[in-house]
């Protein structure tokens, strides 16, 4: 990391961080060891954006299948137009019209032209298309009909304004390899091969369980003392953003029975995410329930926000187990923890081994203070200044309950565990929240 270089002696004192706590990388490493790629299955092409191909796609035919016109104009023998100019045009007999989707009903003969539209297959024997603009078509002010003549104003070269069969993709060519991520362009190319279904790694289903006696579902009438369940919504939105299928399971009360009941309905997912109940005050319920239903580890992760984290495996009735990620309850902590641990788990399940978040180096407008030797993820807005440099400013109150400062952040600026502050005009690494996570370059 290229933070502004400082000599060891003038660097502010380093923190002696708590080795009992796990680093983000240690926690992530442990969690990710429980995840692998999900199955490949037939998938509707429409809706496959962002999924990973589970097959090698071969071209069953040339694209385009037929040599065709790139312009609206006249299909000609180029040799008929030798020496043509506006003042000394070649006059050709128009013997027909061919539109996109049609095949000309006759071959071209010397001294003739066939009116042709963009995308229409080139008539037999024609070797060039002369656009309307280079004929007298436009100045005549009426549509040219068969049996009329047309004046050609230029000398056409062979292949002018022609798209050759197979110039995009040749029959039998490998178009995409298995493992390729489907972007909008890939989806279009596969559709151009006539397919509406492909083999793709299926999307993970992520069950979302909220816990807390204080929670109301958005849409319910407000009751004093309660708060609306925002975590289910923000986490569901992140699951969708990262290519999964959220399955929101509702709210468990802070009782063993209630949590058990809600969890029972969540076990068929690929990942169960709970929020809250993992901090000191009340984690006993979550811990007891999860321990009785599988295996759980409660960790303190050396990060701010989102220190308390639970991870475990829940037993299903059929003897298999489903991974469980227990996020902290504070709304920002829940989102930051899902970024660091839920998102990479989803990527592995989706067959995307690259789990690093796209990040850049910025110059800070505000200091990031590290009070207690934990890695700080500060909510920032990254912008480009007049000189073209990336800079970042804090989005406001950094309390882990202040969700609005997360909403307007487009990145998380990092102050490492062992550095007590990144000062104004020093470099920081920022994990970008609004940059695409998939790099499509696969050539």
Single residue of 282, 315, 366, 438 touching ligand AMP by CB under 6 A: 282
Least separation in angstroms between CB 212 and ligand AMP? 4
Single residue of 51, 275, 370, 395 touching ligand AMP by CB under 6 A: 275
What's the CA gap between 100 and 281, in Å, rounded?
70
| Cβ-based nearer residue to ligand AMP, 73 or 328 | 328
| Per-position DSSP letters for 316-374, written without gaps between them | PTTS-EEEEEEE-SSHHHHHHHIIIIIHHHHHHHTT----PPPEEEEEESS-EE-SSSS
Helix (H, G, I), strand (E, B) or coil at 114: strand
Segment lying near ligand AMP (by CB under 6 A), choices 137-145, 258-266, 278-286, 404-412? 278-286
Helix (H, G, I), strand (E, B) or coil at 65: coil
Segment lying near ligand AMP (by CB under 6 A), choices 90-98, 225-233, 311-319, 366-374? 225-233
277 binds ligand AMP (CB under 6 A): yes
Considering only residues 108 through 167, tell me which ones interact with ligand AMP, judged by CB under 6 A.
none
Least separation in angstroms between CB 70 and ligand AMP? 56
| Cβ-based nearer residue to ligand AMP, 335 or 430 | 335
Find residue 152's DSSP bridge partners: 90, 135
Residue written as tokens 């030797």? 373
Helix (H, G, I), strand (E, B) or coil at 193: coil
Least separation in angstroms between CB 276 and Mg ion? 4
Considering only residues 322 through 361, tell me which ones interact with ligand AMP, judged by CB under 6 A.
328-331
Interhelix angle 256-264/283-292, rounded to 10 degrees, is 50
What's the CA gap between 82 and 231, in Å, rounded?
73
Q: Report the 10 Å Cβ neighbour count for 188.
A: 10
| Cβ-based nearer residue to Mg ion, 227 or 424 | 227
Contact 300, 307 (CB under 8 A): yes
Q: Which does 331 bind (CB under 5 to 8 A by kind): Mg ion, ligand AMP, none?
A: ligand AMP
- Residue span 232-251 as binding mask against ligand AMP, x where in contact by CB under 6 A, dash where not: x-------------------
Nearest to 168 by CA among 154, 198, 189: 189
- Tallying the residues shown for the chain, one arrives at 443
294 binds ligand AMP (CB under 6 A): no
Q: Which does 231 bind (CB under 5 to 8 A by kind): Mg ion, ligand AMP, none?
A: ligand AMP
Site residues (vs ligand AMP, CB under 6 A): 210, 212, 214-215, 227, 229-232, 275-277, 279, 281-282, 328-331
């Amino acid at each position: 990391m290229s933070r502004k270089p400082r000599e060891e002696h003038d660097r502010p004192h380093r923190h002696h961080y708590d080795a009992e706590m796990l680093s983000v990388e240690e926690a992530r490493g442990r969690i990710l060891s429980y995840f692998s790629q999900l199955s490949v299955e037939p998938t509707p092409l429409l809706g496959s954006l962002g999924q990973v191909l589970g097959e090698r796609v071969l071209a069953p035919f040339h694209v385009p299948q037929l040599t065709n016109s790139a312009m609206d104009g006249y299909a000609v023998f180029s040799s008929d137009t030798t020496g043509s100019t506006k003042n000394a045009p070649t006059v050709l007999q128009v013997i027909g019209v061919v539109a996109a989707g049609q095949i000309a009903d006759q071959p071209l003969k010397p001294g003739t032209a066939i009116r042709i539209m963009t995308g229409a297959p080139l008539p037999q024997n024609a070797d060039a298309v002369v656009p309307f603009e280079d004929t007298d078509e436009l100045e005549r002010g009426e549509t040219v009909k068969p049996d009329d003549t047309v004046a050609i104003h230029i000398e056409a070269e062979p292949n002018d304004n022609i798209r050759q069969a197979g110039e995009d993709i040749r029959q039998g060519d490998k178009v995409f390899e298995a493992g390729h991520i489907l972007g909008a362009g890939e989806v279009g190319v596969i559709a151009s091969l006539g397919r509406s279904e492909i083999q793709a790694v299926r999307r993970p289903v992520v069950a979302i369980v909220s816990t807390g006696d204080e929670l109301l579902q958005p849409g319910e009438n407000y009751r004093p003392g309660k708060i609306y369940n925002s975590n289910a919504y923000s986490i569901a939105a992140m699951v969708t953003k990262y290519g999964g299928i959220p399955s929101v399971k509702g709210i468990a009360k802070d009782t063993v029975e209630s949590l058990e009941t809600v969890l029972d309905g969540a076990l068929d997912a690929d990942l169960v995410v709970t929020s809250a109940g993992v901090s000191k005050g009340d984690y006993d319920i979550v811990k007891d329930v999860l321990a009785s239903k599988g295996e759980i580890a409660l960790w303190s992760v050396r990060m701010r926000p989102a220190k308390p984290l639970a991870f475990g495996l829940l037993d299903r009735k059929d003897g298999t187990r489903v991974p469980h990620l227990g996020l902290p309850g504070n709304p920002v902590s829940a989102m930051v923890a899902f970024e660091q641990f839920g998102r990479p788990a989803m990527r592995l399940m989706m067959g995307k081994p690259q789990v690093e978040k796209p990040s850049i180096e910025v110059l800070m407008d505000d200091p990031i203070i590290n009070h207690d030797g934990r890695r700080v993820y500060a909510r920032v807005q990254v912008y480009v200044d007049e000189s073209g440099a990336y800079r970042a400013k804090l989005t406001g109150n950094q309390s882990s309950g202040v969700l609005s400062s997360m909403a307007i952040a487009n990145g998380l600026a990092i102050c490492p565990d062992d550095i007590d502050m990144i000062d104004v005009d020093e470099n920081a690494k920022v994990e970008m929240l609004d940059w695409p996570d998939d790099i499509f370059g696969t050539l």
